[in-house]
Structure 1
Amino acid sequence: MGFDTDHLLPNLVALRRRLHATPELGLHLPQTQATVLEALAGLDLEITTGVGLSSVVAVLRGGRPGPVVLLRGDMDGLPIVEDTGLDYASGNGAMHACGHDLHTAGLVGAVRLLHERRAELPGTVVFMFQPGEEGFAGGRIMLEEGLLDVAGETPVAAYAIHVDSATPRGLYVTRPGPIMAGASGMKLRVLGAGGHAAFPQEGVDPVPVAAEIVLAVQSFVTRRIAVAEPAVISVTRLASNSLAGNVIPSMVEIDLNIRTLSRTTLDFVQAELPALVTALGAAHRCPVEVDVINSYPVTHNDPDETQRVLGWLEELHGTEHLQVLPAPGMASEDFSYVLEKVPGTLVFLGARAGEDHGPSMHSPAAVFDDSVLGEQAATLAELAWRRLAM
């Protein structure tokens, strides 16, 4: 097909930098939502906004009959104080350190490119502007609010492009099958009997018990799970309820973050790890309360859709700009909720600023080369058009 973005790129860069300077967190992004609605104003779109979150869904109906394809961009930032020194850096204590400002601007670009040719468009495109990707399950909430019904029929495919500040600019990276891990967690409360630090024998000190639990958690993966079944369990928070240096606490809280690549492995962890920590606590007269927290599922690229995408990317950008990942990564992504319902593909696009390896995403110093916005928008538009035209 071929989409020219030279006429759009200056406006997309300006939009991205405006978003970058004013990031918002979580599910409620009123300023970001208003900026997106402003960017889409005047176009022939069917637009709906979310009820439980500040989402925007735009439906573009082509002039020719065909199926429905969904394109997604996330909009929320992270609670990070920016340290980039950019002229348009955020100063509000939040930061677009994961590139969601580029995702939003790039999706606006795809809307405009497809809208310019809507008379020829062989079907319908749903554009999903999503809040709450960073741990708030915004994608799941949008599905619950009827995302897949807005066009009148379920999309046949769904695509998203995620920029990466550490990958060379212009390199497209993906793989069929699992590409990112599922994320879940556990909250442990180790219950003792507090007292005076000078007389530990008169209470039940939960601190050494918590220390044993932490060590047991660290060895659980290497000794209970086969090496061929990747899993990562990290202790992310450890705190007691003592507020004084001479008081033995009555409780220690431990938060765990769990990453797995299969439902079978996750089921095993969620069954066996609570049994282990409660048994350790019982051995020391410390009951352990366990809350299991289910978060994002595994991000699974549909094999057939991804083979198509790989072929299209090679044709559009050349083999030298395409990389097939040998294995999935252990980060997570809530586009996984959409990919559970609709076959599709998540693709990473290198947006590294400069030749040297820069700070990774989620770093306060992460910098993205926003000149990729043109090809990002054009590639999203191409993926939608080619899938509709099949």
Structure 2
Amino acid sequence: MFEAAVIRSNLVALRRALHREPEIGLDLPLTQARVLAALDGLPLEITLGRELSSVVAVLRGGRPGPAVLLRADMDALPVQETSGLPYASRIPGAMHACGHDLHTAALVGAARLFHAGTTDNVIPDEAEFAATVRSFSRESRERVREESLRVVRGIAAAHGLEVDAEFREGYPVTVNDPAETAFAVSVARELVGAERCVEMPHAITGSEDFGLLGEHVPSAYLMLGACPPELDPFTAAYNHSPVAAFDDSVLDAAAALLAALAMGRLGFRRT
């Protein structure tokens, strides 16, 4: 934690720079450039994405052994920020309202620690709408697929309409591996204290591409509380809100946790 505290100011500066100039989608040249600059000088093998602005940084050890993957989101949301923060988004219609700027800065910190249109009153000839479906298991998703298509087609038939209904597969359900979760919780409790580690009583219906990793390797998804101290976490604006605010003083703890998880999984004990 001491090493993480030392670099906190750098991580805060990076996070706020990312927050000022958010980018949406898969083309993130400014974000990619800032991440590359922050990683400059570290003994990493850097690979850039061809079809998206990803950054893959590989640190190779001196002997054979297991591998660890740490990943962060970098994209922003199509939200007009109204937070009033001095480092609020300068890009109209784009905001880091989901904390991906924090996520990216924390992972950069871990890398450094690891080496120390609508119109009213119109009835159109045709219309289309989309909905998001969330589920807690692959089995329930399959049932929702069948039932939702049946319901939509039934409603159309009842009103004498024709309908084209399609169920598009999105991200798979994110399910934490029990062993990896227990490991992650033990590391977090040791690092920041048991009183700061809370097990969520219920699953949440977030949509996460992290679920793709869980289909290939045992994985654990942790959430980091970053509510500003002057706000009540139970009433503060949630992720994706145009007035969402995040406390960047948590960055040193976040970076230290990510580094400790990787080192612990590779067999190194924290001293």
Q: Tell me, yes or no, whether TM beats 0.5.
A: yes
Map of 2:240 onto structure 1: 362
Question: What pairs with 1:1-390 in structure 2 (closer than 5 Å)?
Answer: 4-93=3-92, 94-116=94-116, 245=121, 248-357=123-232, 358-389=236-267
Aligned residues: 264
Listed one character per residue, the Cα deviations across residues 71-119 of structure 1 (whole Å, up to 9, x for unaligned) are 1111010111111111111121211111101111111111111123xxx
Query: Based on CA coordinates, which of the two structures has the bigger radius of gyration?
Result: 1
Amino acid at match of 2:248: D
Q: Name the CA distance, whole Å, in 1 between partners of 2:134 and 2:212.
A: 16
Q: Name the CA distance, whole Å, in 2 between partners of 1:80 and 1:254.
A: 20
Amino acid at match of 1:100: H
1:266–1:43 distance in 2 versus 1, CA, 3 Å:
same
Q: Name the CA distance, whole Å, in 2 between partners of 1:298 and 1:72.
A: 18
1:248 Cα deviation (Å)? 4.4
Map of 1:149 onto structure 2: none
Q: Name the CA distance, whole Å, in 1 between partners of 2:150 and 2:172.
A: 23
1:19 Cα deviation (Å)? 0.6
Listed one character per residue, the Cα deviations across residues 261-314 of structure 1 (whole Å, up to 9, x for unaligned) are 111111112112212221332233211110211111111111111011111211
Amino acid at match of 2:229: G
Contact in 1 for aligned 2:11/2:105 (Cα 8 Å):
yes
Contact in 1 for aligned 2:72/2:104 (Cα 8 Å):
yes
Q: Name the CA distance, whole Å, in 1 between partners of 2:157 and 2:242.
A: 42
TM-score normalised by structure 2 residue count: 0.92
Amino acid at match of 2:60: R
Q: Name the CA distance, whole Å, in 2 between partners of 1:315 and 1:244.
A: 57
TM-score normalised by structure 1 residue count: 0.65
**Structure 1: 4+ residue segments shifted above 4 A:** none
In terms of fraction of residues, the more strand-rich structure is: 1
1:64–1:274 distance in 2 versus 1, CA, 3 Å:
same
Amino acid at match of 1:310: V
Listed one character per residue, the Cα deviations across residues 45-65 of structure 1 (whole Å, up to 9, x for unaligned) are 100000110000000123344
- Aligned-pair identity (%): 52
Amino acid at match of 2:106: G
Amino acid at match of 2:138: R
Q: Name the CA distance, whole Å, in 2 between partners of 1:13 and 1:248.
A: 51
